[in-house]
Amino acid sequence: MAKGNQPENEKTKKLKPHLADATGEQMTTDHGVRINDDQNSLKAGERGATLLEDFILREKITHFDHERIPERIVHARGSGAHGVFKLYKSLGDVTKANFLNDTETETPVFVRFSTVAGSRGSTDLARDVRGFAVKFYTQEGNFDLVGNNMPVFFIQDAMKFPDLVHAVKPEPDNEMPQAASAHDTFWDFISLMPESAHMIMWAMSDRAIPRSLRMMEGFGVHTFRFINEKGEGCFVKFHWKPLLGVHSVAWDEAQNISGKDPDFHRRDLWEAIESGAFPEWELGVQIVPEADEFKFEFDLLDPTKLIPEELVPVQRVGKMTLNRNPDNFFAETEQVAFHVGHIVPGIDFSNDPLMQGRLFSYTDTQLIRLGGPNFHEIPINRPVVPVHNNQRDGYMRQTINRGKTSYGPNSLGHNDPQQVKAADGGFTSYQERIDAKKVRARSKSFFDHFSQANLFFNSQSQPEKNHITDALSFELGKVKTVAIRERMLGILKLIDQKLAGDVAFALGLKVPEKPERPINHSIPADGKPEDYDSLIVKSSLKSSSALSMANTIKDTIKTRKIAFLAADGVNGATLNAVKKALTAEGAVVEVIAPKLGELTAADGTKIPVDQSFLTAASVLYDAVYVPGGDKSVAAIAAEANAVHFLNEAFKHCKAIAADQDAKAVLDATYFGSAKQPGLVIGDAKKLIDEFIVAIAQHRVWEREKPRQVPA
């Protein structure tokens, strides 16, 4: 079952009995009768009517009619992969969870990445939060870490989740726009929901348009609890840190990719795994002792807050490697059912009100999505350890339970299955003391909505700040109701005056002197509105370097896609030398030419062509190289699509390299061949070295400064 270099593990072995290969098999009906003809329906005579008795036709069409299941209400668009998790060091002092103690075992995982708002067939490059859900198949049962690529959330209480989702989904009268938050209902809701201010900064940042799913961070978002063998608890935040760094595309690029290849992220993940370039993340934990629960300026239970890494460092404790693509998208990626409530001994919930509400939602949604209470029996959802309990029956039950007893206690069946002592690994909840009044209210410690939004904005590099300003100007520019735009400017003013001013300028509006007080529905109808000014706390920490992608890893070109623009007469020696050097560093090179087939180099050698200018586009690559060779250079310089390719690559701040004698191609572009950052012109060795450094920088965002470019 292992494909190429994609290894087996305990979970993949368990999936084996469910695999079906169509190699040399005879065709049968679903009841096992061998089929003689499944191309012609049964008719009364050759030209006659089709007969109702044709059970082969009926079965085939009926199955087809029922092929679709309800898509996820959120996170419908997703891509999955199998892998393993290996612990570096034991966390035994804080948690008894076996997979976080044992450094020998490899724990199988299945991961599903997703966008949130779009439908199942929507584009990968929507400006959106990305889901980052990991199912650990541990020896003590499944642990699902159902997180996102952003560490905070829009709302503080799960009660508001349906409102948030209704607001961001396409508007109900005309079902527009698809997979986009740039519309009135979303910003109407956000402008009335000041607690979303911090998350909005993340969602308007480049984090919402990742270069690759392999280049995103992941976060458990909520504060969880760890429990050790002694029953002692502490708080924990989970992180995933990608070993390729955190990188994004430009917004203009994202919009183009959505047309050129809406499956861009899915394809990128699939191809990386198929080629053996397995994506890797380190698992990080921020541990907070219980005694420190109240030592922060924010409430640990508030999901709109993060713990700055300057205050509590992230300890990297293990590594996840995704090393196998699913065999069947529907059976695995579509049917996988994640649940925040799937925890194992040693891990527990906190009282974060968003988390508590999620605990109900995830089982409930699988019941409707996967058709009943037996979704845990679908192969991808089964734990690697056996399941025994007195749950029975229901739609699509697969286990054939034997014996008379399906209740406990019982004497007829030896009282099996038996409960397990805590000392032997039986799950027990953390014994938190609760002595409180039942209230529908929110803690005042949740009321500071702006300090971390401000901290996030302050922590960004200038290009990142520009992108946030542009994103807000774009999104609010698509909002038709001026009052909503103005209300949002009022919110932005509380985050950063200059940001509000710049967005107001783009919208042709003024920042309101006295911002409208956003309605806050967390206040009960008979309660007093919040004192708005008291919400504006300033964080003592002015900036946090982990929040800026400018500080990420920039020393590798592994898996980067580089386009070579060439035509007949190309200098084959330089083309091959540059290709060899880049691929040796782990990059992927594609030769793009006026037509498919082969190129004839100046020395007569043949060079295979990977794409033509018709099938390729610059937005699908990380960098471009133009090799020399008189005839090839003349052809590329005269090829409008090639010039457009380079112009776009330049606009999107990508590294561009050209041989000394290929300058004529650069001179045909709007940016020319004058010396500037990220533009490498030279010969062989020097060109290669400088080009590799430039690609590893990911983007030359500084190039945007003049911000006046065509293409």
225 is in an annotated binding site: no
Task: Please choose, out of 323-331, 358-366, 380-388, 568-576, the segment that lies near ligand HDD by the rule CB under 6 A.
Answer: 358-366
φ/ψ (deg, to 5) at 110:
-130, 130
700 within 8 A of 653, measured Cβ to Cβ: yes
162 within 8 A of 136, measured Cβ to Cβ: no
**Which CB atom, from 218 or from 308, has the smaller least distance to ligand HDD?**
218
Task: Please choose, out of 153-161, 461-469, 588-596, 600-608, the segment that lies near ligand HDD by the rule CB under 6 A.
Answer: 153-161
**Which CB atom, from 145 or from 668, has the smaller least distance to ligand HDD?**
145
Looking from the CA of 60 toward its CB, the CA atoms found within 13 Å total 14
**Which CB atom, from 129 or from 215, has the smaller least distance to ligand HDD?**
129
* Residue 72 is a binding residue for ligand HDD (CB under 6 A): yes
Shortest CB 147 distance to ligand HDD, Å: 5
* Residue 161 is a binding residue for ligand HDD (CB under 6 A): yes
* Residue 153 is a binding residue for ligand HDD (CB under 6 A): yes
Interface residue with ligand HDD, options 221, 589, 592, 642 (CB under 6 A): 221
List, as one string, the DSSP characters of 316-333. Answer: EEEEEEEEE--S-IIIII
**Which CB atom, from 129 or from 180, has the smaller least distance to ligand HDD?**
129
387 within 8 A of 373, measured Cβ to Cβ: no
**Residue 492: closest CA among 459, 461, 456:** 456
Distance CA 268, CA 659 (A): 29
Interface residue with ligand HDD, options 119, 178, 328, 361 (CB under 6 A): 361
Task: Please choose, out of 3-11, 68-76, 306-314, 632-640, the segment that lies near ligand HDD by the rule CB under 6 A.
Answer: 68-76
Distance CA 110, CA 239 (A): 17
Shortest CB 358 distance to ligand HDD, Å: 4
* Residue 73 is a binding residue for ligand HDD (CB under 6 A): yes
Considering the candidates 148, 149, 256, 374, report the single residue annotated as catalytic: 148
Site string for ligand HDD, 114-133 (x = CB under 6 A): x----------------x-x
Shortest CB 561 distance to ligand HDD, Å: 26
Binding-residue total with ligand HDD (CB under 6 A) = 26
3-state secondary structure 461-512: CHHHHHHHHHHHHHHHHCCCCHHHHHHHHHHHHHHCHHHHHHHHHHHCCCCC
* Residue 303 is a binding residue for ligand HDD (CB under 6 A): yes
Task: Please choose, out of 189-197, 236-244, 352-360, 419-427, the segment that lies near ligand HDD by the rule CB under 6 A.
Answer: 352-360
Q: Which residue is nearest to ligand HDD (CB)?
A: 131
* Residue 373 is a binding residue for ligand HDD (CB under 6 A): no
362 is in an annotated binding site: yes
Q: Provide the CA 541 distance to its chain's centre, in angstroms.
A: 28
Task: Please choose, out of 5-13, 73-81, 186-194, 304-312, the segment that lies near ligand HDD by the rule CB under 6 A.
Answer: 73-81
Q: Is 547 helix (H, G, I), strand (E, B) or coil?
A: helix
* Residue 362 is a binding residue for ligand HDD (CB under 6 A): yes
**Which CB atom, from 162 or from 710, has the smaller least distance to ligand HDD?**
162
Shortest CB 131 distance to ligand HDD, Å: 3
**Which CB atom, from 114 or from 459, has the smaller least distance to ligand HDD?**
114
b/e per residue 603-619 (b: at least 16 CB within 10 A): eeeebebbbebeebbbb
* Residue 136 is a binding residue for ligand HDD (CB under 6 A): no
Q: Provide the CA 39 distance to its chain's centre, in angstroms.
A: 42
**Which CB atom, from 222 or from 382, has the smaller least distance to ligand HDD?**
222
3-state secondary structure 346-358: CEECCCCHHHHHH
Q: Is 75 a catalytic residue?
A: yes
| Residue 624 identity (one-letter amino acid) | V
Q: Which of residues 561-620 bind ligand HDD (CB under 6 A)?
A: none
**Which CB atom, from 89 or from 120, has the smaller least distance to ligand HDD?**
120
620 within 8 A of 645, measured Cβ to Cβ: no
120 is in an annotated binding site: no
Distance CA 701, CA 651 (A): 10
Considering the candidates 75, 82, 183, 467, report the single residue annotated as catalytic: 75
* Residue 357 is a binding residue for ligand HDD (CB under 6 A): yes
161 is in an annotated binding site: yes
| Residue 131 identity (one-letter amino acid) | G
Helices 184-191 and 161-168 cross at an angle (nearest 10°) of 140
Task: Please choose, out of 10-18, 227-235, 356-364, 648-656, the segment that lies near ligand HDD by the rule CB under 6 A.
Answer: 356-364
Task: Please choose, out of 69-77, 227-235, 293-301, 543-551, the segment that lies near ligand HDD by the rule CB under 6 A.
Answer: 69-77
Distances from the Cα of 529 to the Cαs of 349, 524, 588, in angstroms? 31, 9, 57
Q: Are strands 655-659 and 623-626 parallel, antiparallel or unpaired?
A: parallel
CB atoms within 10 A of CB 139: 15
φ/ψ (deg, to 5) at 594:
-55, -30
Q: Are strands 623-626 and 606-608 parallel, antiparallel or unpaired?
A: unpaired
Distance CA 60, CA 30 (A): 9
Shortest CB 266 distance to ligand HDD, Å: 13
382 is in an annotated binding site: no
* Residue 202 is a binding residue for ligand HDD (CB under 6 A): no
Q: Is 623 helix (H, G, I), strand (E, B) or coil?
A: strand
* Residue 458 is a binding residue for ligand HDD (CB under 6 A): no
Distance CA 359, CA 341 (A): 5
Shortest CB 172 distance to ligand HDD, Å: 18
**Residue 381: closest CA among 425, 333, 320:** 333
* Residue 331 is a binding residue for ligand HDD (CB under 6 A): no
Distance CA 48, CA 398 (A): 42
**Which CB atom, from 362 or from 430, has the smaller least distance to ligand HDD?**
362
Distance CA 447, CA 663 (A): 59
Shortest CB 506 distance to ligand HDD, Å: 30
12 within 8 A of 324, measured Cβ to Cβ: yes
**Which CB atom, from 360 or from 670, has the smaller least distance to ligand HDD?**
360
632 within 8 A of 570, measured Cβ to Cβ: yes
* Residue 266 is a binding residue for ligand HDD (CB under 6 A): no
Distances from the Cα of 509 to the Cαs of 466, 499, 516, 707, in angstroms? 18, 13, 15, 22
Distance CA 698, CA 555 (A): 9
440 is in an annotated binding site: no
Shortest CB 299 distance to ligand HDD, Å: 15
* Residue 499 is a binding residue for ligand HDD (CB under 6 A): no
Q: Is 184 helix (H, G, I), strand (E, B) or coil?
A: helix
* Residue 338 is a binding residue for ligand HDD (CB under 6 A): yes
**Which CB atom, from 255 or from 361, has the smaller least distance to ligand HDD?**
361
Annotated binding residues:
72, 112, 161, 358, 362, 369
Annotated binding residues for heme:
72, 112, 161, 358, 362, 369
Catalytic residues: 75, 148
Footprint on this chain of ligand HDD (rule: CB under 6 A): 72-75, 78, 112, 114, 131, 133, 146-148, 153, 158, 161, 221-222, 303, 336, 338, 354, 357-358, 361-362, 365
